[in-house]
Copies of this chain bind each other. A is one copy, B any other.
Amino acid sequence: MAQDKKLVEAITSMEEDFAQWYTDVVKKAELIEYSSVRGCMILRPNGYAIWENIQKQLDADFKATGVENVYMPMFIPESLLQKEKDHVEGFAPEVAWVTQGGMEPLQERLCVRPTSETLFCDLYANIIHSYRDLPKLYNQWCSVVRWEKTTRPFLRSTEFLWQEGHTAHATAEEAEERTIQMLNVYADFCERVLAIPMIKGRKSDKEKFAGAHATYTIEALMHDGKALQSGTSHNFGDGFARAFDIQYTDKNNTLQYVHQTSWGMSTRIIGAIIMVHGDDSGLVLPPRIAPVQIMIIPINQNKEGVLDKAYELKDRLKAFKVGLDTSDKSPGWKFSEQEVRGIPLRIEIGPKDIEAGQAVIVRRDTREKITAPFEDIEARVSEVLEKMQSDMLDRARAHRDSHTYYAHDMAEFEKTIAEKPGFIKAMWCGSEACENEIKDKTGATSRCMPFEQEHFTDTCVCCGEPAKVMAYWGKAY
């Protein structure tokens, strides 16, 4: 029994030390293993399977809007990276450089892609000629490298997995429409599948992507009250098109620059799943993203008939992602493993249950026990999974809303951020000076100017000048 509790006991409590809790969960749930390569993580089967599910569902969402997948080289010649001025300034300081190929030093350095705008622009300049070639709606799933100083599993690592969509359009309107469309795809996916509610909005000029005309973001609130930027969508206008000379002949036979967008979501979102839903026993995965939704755990599995019934149950539940743990570990140990891994339901089945013609379903999030007669088990499991999915979204939304505050002046801003971690809504004049001052005084950054605006004072929370916009602020990962 002492051994049974070991797995869970090894996890630091959230209240005690949230950062350590996070690291413990990531390790104990076997999502990640550290590698010999500085700042690079190994995604183990439990971790990678979550990413595979994200890929599968998000990729279908992309394709439903007409997006096609491609694969671009992982290397970018230095001269190509330098073509767009803001872009190279933003990324050059944090890239890895290949200087030697085989036995020979390279004539031109190649960077390992930190993002692939320049490669897509180079391709588009080659293959876009006429209005008939537009729009181009390309995406790729790949890894990128950014030479980070401090790293944390999923949240910040030297190499990480992501997708990057890159589109080219005939008009500015169409590009803006696509930028917002993809932001909505992300937000909808996060709410529907990951049970994470998102604030949608626009980034300040200071926080926008290097080379973008406008950056839109979805922002989530973690359990500890910190914000996490969870996906971004950029409208480039024709800036890259001018730098890379991407022109097409329109219907009037006139040369025009294309208008471009890019948008990305990365393995970072797995960090959000952990920090929004996890508890002191480990991970809690929303049913729609869980690689295993149900773990059947036999009790007294050596008693006649128990394993037979467990296999029968597994077979009956094959419409779900179901596992059966027949190892020689104790049931208590198996419960702990199922809990640490965040498997949404476990089904306990022992001799007494079999006699009574029923099994016990236990929800991972609430630990609620539901007794279900065998003949009814598929329907009950389906119902409980649905309920768990929607309850998780409701709880995440309630947590976010109860940790979102208004600040009318700097005194209130500073007091709130010090005492109540969460989002702060505050009116803002829009100047970078105030944005910097707020960050210096409080550690909070502007998360976004939300699409859903409110107007609750007339003056900027920082300088007292007329306010132009309401923004969300917060400390962020």
By a beta-carbon cutoff of 8 Å, the part of chain A in contact with chain B is: 33, 35-37, 40-45, 48-49, 51-52, 68-77, 80, 93-103, 109-110, 112, 119, 122-123, 126-127, 138, 142-143, 145, 147, 158-159, 161
Contacts and interface: CB of A to CB of B under 8 A. Distances in A.
Given A96-B100, A112-B112, A72 B123 contact: no
A70 B98 contact: no
A80 B80 CA distance: 32
A-B pairs with the 5 shortest C-beta distances?
A40-B73, A102-B147, A45-B68, A43-B71, A97-B100
A444 to B, nearest CB: 27
A126 B77 CA distance: 37
A75 B159 contact: yes
B48 A70 contact: yes
Nearest to A267: B71
A123 B43 CA distance: 11
Given A33-B123, A35-B123, A42 B73 contact: yes
Contact of A42 (B44, B52, B72, B142): B72
A101 B52 contact: no
A72 B35 contact: yes
Contacts of A49: 68-69
Contacts of A37: 73, 75-77, 110
Contacts of A145: 74
19 contacts: A35-B123, A36-B119, A37-B110, A40-B75, A41-B73, A42-B72, A42-B119, A44-B70, A48-B71, A73-B159, A74-B143, A74-B159, A94-B102, A96-B110, A97-B101, A100-B109, A101-B147, A101-B158, A142-B143
B103 A33 contact: no
B98 A112 contact: yes
